[in-house]
Structure 1
Amino acid sequence: MSLPALIAVPPSLNGLVNSQREAFREASREASNASDGPAVAGWSAARWAAFDRVLALSDFVAEQVRRSPELLLGLVGSGDLDRPMAPGELRAQVATAVAQAANEEELGRALRQQRNRQQVRIIWRDLTRQADLAQTCRDLSELADACIDEAYRWLYPRHCEQYGVPTGQRSGTAQPMVVLGMGKLGAGELNLSSDIDLIFAYPEGGETVGAKRALDNQAFFIRLGQRLIKALDPVTVDGFVFRVDMRLRPYGSAGALVLSFNALEQYYQDQGRDWERYAMIKARVVAGAAEQGEQLLQMLRPFVYRRYLDFSAIEALRTMKQLIQQEVRRKGMAGNIKLGSGGIREVEFIAQAYQLIHGGRDLSLQQRPLLSVLATLEGQGYLPAAVVAELREGYQFLRYTEHAIQAIADRQTQMLPEGARDQARVAVMLGYETWEAFHEQLMHWRERIAWHFHQVIADPGDEAGGRCEEVAGGGWLPLWEDSPGEEAACRQLQQAGFADPQRAFRQLAELRGSGVLRAMQRIGRERLDAFIPRLLAQAAEHPDPNRVLDRVLPLVEAVARRSAYLVLLSENPGALRQLLALCAASPWIAEQIARFPLLLDELLNEGRLLNPPQAPELKAELRERLARIPEDDLEQQMEALRHFKLAHSLRVAASEISGTLPLMKVSDYLTWLAEAILEQVLALAWRQTTARHGTPLRADGSLCAPAFVIVGYGKVGGVELGHGSDLDLVFIHEGDPQAETDGAKPIDGAQFFTRLGQRIIHLLTAQTNSGQLYDVDMRLRPSGAAGLLVSSLGAFERYQLHDAWTWEHQALVRARVLVGDSEVASGFERVRAQVLGQPRDQAALREQVSQMRAKMRANLGTRATEAGRGAHAFEAQAAFDLKQDAGGIVDIEFMVQYAALAWSGAHPALLRYTDNIRILEGLEQAGLLPGGDAEQLREAYKAYRAAAHRQALQKQPSKVPGDQFAAERRTVMRIWAGLGLG
């Protein structure tokens, strides 16, 4: 493409110029201390015409001239405005300015003043058509190279004076820094207001020499890199030099600022992703040690260019473009001439697709400047000459347009202006009389580029010009890859509904920089990169997306190395949706899944997840699972039991959260689950113990089969298990304690059943990779912790009738056989009925129950209701302990237990059930408790337990605000007093 035509500035812009010309004249007079001094006196009409043109079109140049007229006067006086720079001349000017700096503040000022001077010169020559696109880009890139390298060369020796000379541990030589320029800087194609993408490196590890305190080489270069960025990036009263972007380095902003050559090579070899190959094509040494820098690029070349024909690059570039298109649509950036359809990026993608595919074999493609690559593609026959001609002309038109947009205000933007004045400026700079004429030509080139891009990059299955299928969560990928920067990322998070976007951004940054991610292989990192945007997209659909991230990101970190789980969630949006819903609802579930990621499999089938099986189906499923495992593989059997428990506990919790399972059913299922597990644990323990010692005998000499039961007390006995409940158990047998077993290593019956009990406890409580099955509490056995682990039925009966305390009889109300021998179970039921139904002095019973409850309140309850004094004492409480405070769960349980002990002798039907709800129904049916009172106690009990379940799922103690359940508590305390329990 030839230079755009130099047409006159329209009259609508002249008003901008007149005032600026007069202001400049005044300023120049002051600068030269003479009336219409010699600085401008000799200006020709052509010079003033150029002045008017440039200042009408560029607010940036107008501002620089207004602030510093001597800048323009110097450029005119030196002749720099009227000629191209000779090779090395621009660098020499920067070097001269930098050499005069005495400190870092002066260094920064010198660099900024040089940048402003050169920027005015470059824009002036571009707008007056004294320089073409190639020369403008070359000057800008040389300016950046000079500023970076001269700043480095000024800083490095002073840094060494302070910290010592960084020295290689292996070579023993001084270590320099290498600065790689990426993107347009690397290709020598910098635009008028581009930032610079850099990567810092140093050749070899070691430490500094010559300072009082040695410093690790990496720490030395990190501090040096920070000083170099400070010299270039911050905006001061003199402006800035270049905006520095370091996010293309390994691990992005979470990674170390500087890495050794070996660390860089290892990273790209193990974890480098497709987009990093794409970026590394243009990498060039722009500052520091050039020779060592070229060695580094040679080390990284195999990562960029494969030795084989790499057609996978097409798919990678296609995905990248789909993500860009989604972002353009999301942000309404159709007017973006870089990222929009038919924009600059599409021409770059076409060229780089061929480079990545063929560059490993065809060395002629291993180059950086885009126009040179296009020429090679034509010369080597990869693309027809007509196609290359259209791509070249369209690309140049877009780059001229990009420079025109940025020349106006020195802003880093590729968006077409919307205001009439700036539209007129862009049209003039491109050689068009009107915006409409310019825009028509622009759209022509964008359409041609888009068409060619589709031929090379688009999915073969797509219709020409059709919209690409969206990449799931693609709008979030730039944020995850840290490309938009913190401010833009937080803005996107806030717009998506994150109440605390800074916290979310920080969490994602911490995940990016975590040790787990650093250790991931490339395929795992690619899977994570595919998953996180999907996670963010779905999290944004929740009422509290911050909470979702709080609870799900620990899981992501836990499973990152087992990236198959990430694939599972990426490829099953329903499973991911279910995961987020469950984790948002319950930190307990989130923690369970994070600890045991195998639970993610349960999310694949929503119908199964939210419909846990009935008790017989539970038992059958577990039997079938264990039947597939060899009997001698105890480790696998224990894992299978734990996986079964984890999976079904999750299903019950999910069903409760979703509302498909009411409270009473939740406890039923959790209790059935415990019974199914105990049945198989008893069978395993029996099989293992008898295999070692043989089978014990009954008193009549017959074999026990097994003459043993597991009795459940408390919540499991009362069919009221909650999430994470432990098991209160008692073991009872009816074997002959003296008779020896019939095995190869015989022991007496008492020892056998003790070892059987120990085995059961081990199987239940042992920690494996999948955790433990249950915590087990055996303190309710006869004589508590001082008693035998396993009792005979006769010993149990004698203890209960003659030695047990009243509180132990209260506990027996909720005791039942969970699994084991049916004959022993019948014997236990007989003993229980006999013990609970015996005559009692009701006054003494009331006193004993009241005293026990008072002790519990004093030790465990909230002080405001200690001993339950006063029906309104609780009103001053800050919190209400659902279980222990007056009017709470334990009060209801104690009333039920008191009633069973007091009246079951006359009403044995009260002993039929062990759960509080059905005992209360029995009391109502027997007329022992007024119907209204019984119903109110049942409703209060269910309400308390439902709240306790919610607290458990939230990983909170069973306490709620003190003003909750006031009516229920008054009712419970009234009925308590009415029973005479005081």
Structure 2
Amino acid sequence: MSERTSARTDLARLGFGDSARTDELLSELEESTGLGRAALLADVVAAADPDGALASLARIARRDAEPVARLFAHAQGRRAMWALLGGSEGFGAFYLRHPRELDDLVDAGTALPSRQELTDELLDAVGAVDGFAAVADESAWVALRVRYRRLLARIAAFDLLHPAPVEIVPSVAARLADAAGAALEASLAVARARVAGGGAGVGLFPHEQVAATRLAVIGMGKTGARELNYVSDVDVIFVGGADDAVAEELGESRVIDIATRLAVQTMRGLSGVEVEPPLWEVDANLRPEGKQGALVRTLDSHVSYYERWAKSWEFQALLKARPIAGDSELGEAYIAAVQPKVWTSAARENFVDSVQRMRERVTEHIPAAEVPFQIKLGPGGIRDIEFTVQLLQLVHGLSDEGIRQRGTLEALDALVSEGYIGRADAAAFAHDYRVLRLLEHRGQLRRLSRTHLMPDDDDALRVLARSTRLADSGAGVFAVWEATKREVRDIHVRLFYRPLLSAVAALPAEERALSTEQAHDRLAAIGFTDAAGALRHIAALTSGLSRKATIQRHLMPVMLRWFADGVDPDYGLLAFRRISERLGDTPWFLRMLRDSSAAAESLTRVLSGSRYVGELMEWIPESVAWLDDPDLLRPRSGRVLQEEARAIQSRHETTVEAMRAVRALRRRELLRTAMAALLTEMTIEQLSASLTTITEVTIQATLRAVRREVVPPQDAALDFSVIAMGRFGGAELGFGSDADVMYVYEANGIEPERAHNLALQLVAGLRTHSEDHRVPLDLDADLRPEGRNGPLARSLDSFAAYYGRWSLSWEAQALLRARGIAGSVKLIEKFTELADRVRYPAQVQLQDLREIKRIKARVENERLPQGVDPARHLKLGPGSLSDVEWLVQLLQLEHGARVPGLRTTSTLHALAAAQEAGLIPESSAARLSDAWRLSSRLRSANTLLSGQTSDVLPPDRRKLDGIGRLLDYPPRSATRVEEDYFGATRRARRVFEKLFYG
């Protein structure tokens, strides 16, 4: 082997990837520093990324080789330098800007700087004396930022060189928070000097007034808990004030004005754009009223706000609050005033919603592509741990002061000491927390930038493995991360949900992790309104020695979490108990619960999301099996249902028996469609088509059974048909929709009066045997000629005579959606020919169009239920279903004769045809279509949620959120649902008024 080849092999053993480039850079450094290659490579093993470290070192030496050469003379400094440059391109950029800062690394890495050392150093950087910096121009901020990064390098060197980095995560995070507090203190000193006249164009107040103004900086979140990252927003709240004599002399408004200017300048000193890059963002948005509120308030103003206006989440945000800079006495007074309110917030009525909002806010904006790499916000990430610990604190801290800690790890220790969680679970959770925080820290060190993502390339993962010492390879560190995420999710269940079982199961006292009262509090905290009832259901499901109880005990903690994430956890758990009792020890049910987590989760989703589904599943518990097979959830075709209905009738001799089976068929298929709507991507057109098909098959089967009973053989020539009208005729049914119909017959030689009587008997039989108390089917014939005053059934000749001589414009309009769906095919064809002549006239009369417009205006004024906000009515409200349908029908009446595409019973098909024919602009058609679809979806979702039919968008926020969840909105979207609906209907109404009345 040649000498050159051997040298490159040695470089590879040291961790270098590009040996040719490495050789080149080492030669360059040998020349610029005067050091030999052996000296240069001493301690390079401390670098997680030797190639990156060497490249940074070469760039620094090109600018100034002296400090590089000096540092190599000190073994500890050399190790610190390799560790920093090999773990952070960001520090490489810092030392490139300021090469002589390398001198500070001589003894770095042996210990963390103390809190006092951090404060003294940063105040010294700005020359602070008695709270005022010696220099008030931008140079002071530059000096502050450079000194901060010098100190940050000391912390990072200690972190990167430590043999057990996982164990020191809490100490490192605490020092980072201390450094942030010290930086704020120093920046405040510069701010005082600037506001007191030391900065051009800034100084507005006399020195003595600025000195007399008190400003406390309260650290929130990770800063307050001393759990800060290397690069993270520093959340703060500012409290201003002055001694009584000063406040009386200057006036409160002037004191707050001075304090506000101090706060602004303090933030600018750390976050503003200067020659030296910003340190991090100072975020004051957790203050009262957020971005809209005053940046600085007095203590009394803060207290007044929290007593009168604050929401529960604002108290929970104060859980980690701590004075970190400024006037310490004022800061402590603030904490003393607000901290008690944190723990009483758990007793508030809206506690559950506020906690859930806190959890959801952190995940709702994660891009889908980032979810698999999110260390902080993703499933099994840091926020899962923090949320679990915080929620346990809030639930039990109301009555137990022993667990009122700021820090996550300290709180875990306290929860163990007070007996709320087991030591093994807490130890594992704490270790996972440190691992995740270490991964996050190393990611941020890489470029000294804010990130919470795992790297997705092999080189970066290899560097991460070396810098964390968690694994020997990139694949290994990724595997560690994946395993940690899984364990975090599992421990979350164990810590929060599983102890609930011990409060209700028949376990020895020493095995009880929670009292019944504590279990009650936990259930309330995760979203159960009737926590006592939930405890009873859990006891009924999990008590005993049966195989079913054993499986339920294992599964219940996970299912409780799924129920808690649903719309109505209480109803979901109740329905699950009832279904479990109905199915008993059915083997397939127990096997599905045990082996198919996806099916079990889907079951909790449909039960907690829809009373309509839950009530039907209680009657048809075997439908649970559909959740384990996607094919079984797919709505069945009309042909398949028709064949089954005919088979049913062939097996039953009496109409009563046959119709009982047909009603069961209808209920089953309605349930199948409802479950598919909740669990699959189903369009409103597909949903309407399925519901329409089910209704058609039911009416067809009912008519066959009734005709067999009512019409004797000698009258078999009688033709009878059912004509679908309205949304039924348009194949646009939703859940809870009536079935609008008309009945037509043809005597075919039978004596007219007898034929009419037989037809009425068929109608009566249809209405009687289609009744279903569980899922009503209302056959509404009010759209027949003469409305409620007209005969229920007419002969075809009677229809023809009436439409030829007496029909009103609204009756021609009603025929636009007439479609034969049951009975004699020949008679349906004849009726359709008659209807076409009426609904698609060659020339429409102007007075008929005026009459339709007059009736529409009257409907808007008279048909709306009293006391209902018109804007919330999904059917008759402005811009909703009625507006779109009436406009489309007006176009059909006017142009149907010459535009074939308008001759359809479907609203959306007719709308598309009108656009294609140039009768309506594309943008207008889109607005009408959007409003119609959204109104239809909301109408069905309303019924699915409550199990009751309603045409009104509920004002109740919880119901609105539930409706939104059914339509795939994220949780807490009640306002967004309203805004989307009001916006869509407002736009549609403008189009309607222009084209209908204009």
TM range (shorter): 0.3 to 0.5
Question: Which has more helix, going by share of residues?
Answer: 2
**Between Structure 1 and Structure 2, whose CA radius of gyration is higher?**
1
TM-score (norm 1): 0.46
